């Protein structure tokens, strides 16, 4: 059973990995757009509202869609004071609980954000600035997409956290930054 859970977790990891790698390309696009904006502004003494808005339109997929990717690669900061001193079984239980809580949070945020996106789509929301970008609902749709991806990564964490409770091998405790109190 734990082997099957691990296979499913690896399948979810693959989805998060692919989407994170694709979304990370928006970082290159962001740098290129920002460089072009600087050149246009200071060399040609002009600018474009759409190009300026494109900067934060490219920042959204970079920051939102790469959250799950960062969690998958443990690129987040984890600071604990007590966790590292707890018995392994308690750490595993905390890992399972926190992964389940993350899944619940992701489901809630997807459910709450979908009406927000749909309203934007229905009214044809675009930039309020003249010359700005249309179809703002696409940008807003990245919010539920980000939490779907984070939810998938959290489900993968749940599957892995269940392993030791179902007779599978104990996993190494993730690396943490421990603050020792005096």
Low-confidence ranges of the chain (pLDDT < 70): 1, 77-79, 168-182
- For residue 102, what are its two tokens? 């993350």
Per-residue pLDDT tens digits for 31-67: 999 999 999 999 998 888 889 899 988 998 888 888 8
SS3 80: strand
The pTM assigned to this predicted structure is 0.82
Task: Answer whether 119's CB lies under 8 Å from 145's CB.
Answer: no
Instruction: Enter the DSSP assignment of 173.
Output: P
Please name which of 106, 91, 86, 85 lies closest in space to residue 161, comparing C-alpha atoms.
91
Helix 2-43 and helix 142-162, axial crossing angle in degrees, nearest 10: 150
By CB neighbour count within 10 A (0-12 exposed, 13-18 middle, 19+ buried), where does 146 fall? buried
Task: Answer whether 53's CB lies under 8 Å from 61's CB.
Answer: no
SS3 177: strand
Q: For residue 79, give the H/E element and its range.
A: strand 79-80
Q: State residue 75's pLDDT score.
A: 75
29-to-80, 137, 149, 177 alpha-carbon distances in Å: 36, 20, 22, 34
Q: Which residues pair with 80 in a beta bridge?
A: 178
- For residue 104, what are its two tokens? 């619940």
Q: What are the backbone dihedrals phi and psi of residue 178, each rounded to the nearest 5 degrees, phi first? A: -100, 130
Instruction: Enter the DSSP assignment of 101.
Output: H
CA 15 centroid distance within chain:
12
Helix then strand then coil, in percent of the chain rounded to 5, is 75, 0, 25
* Length of the chain measured in residues: 182
Spell out the domain ranges in the chain: 2-178
């Amino acid at each position: 059973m734990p082997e099957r859970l691990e296979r499913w977790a690896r399948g979810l990891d693959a989805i998060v990995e692919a989407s994170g790698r694709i979304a990370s390309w928006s970082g290159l696009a962001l740098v290129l757009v920002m460089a072009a904006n600087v050149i246009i502004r200071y060399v040609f003494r002009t600018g474009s509202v759409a190009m300026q808005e494109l900067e934060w339109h490219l920042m959204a997929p970079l920051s939102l869609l790469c959250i799950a990717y960062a969690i998958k690669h443990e690129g987040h900061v984890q600071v604990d004071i007590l966790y590292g001193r707890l018995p392994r079984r308690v750490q595993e239980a905390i890992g399972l609980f926190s992964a389940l809580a993350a899944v619940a949070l992701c489901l809630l945020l997807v459910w709450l954000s979908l009406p927000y996106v749909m309203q934007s789509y229905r009214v044809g929301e675009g930039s309020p600035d003249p010359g700005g970008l249309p179809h703002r609902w696409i940008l807003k749709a990245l919010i539920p997409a980000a939490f779907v991806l984070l939810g998938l990564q959290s489900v993968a964490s749940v599957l892995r956290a269940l392993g030791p409770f179902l007779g599978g091998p104990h996993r190494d405790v993730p690396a943490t930054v421990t603050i020792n109190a005096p």
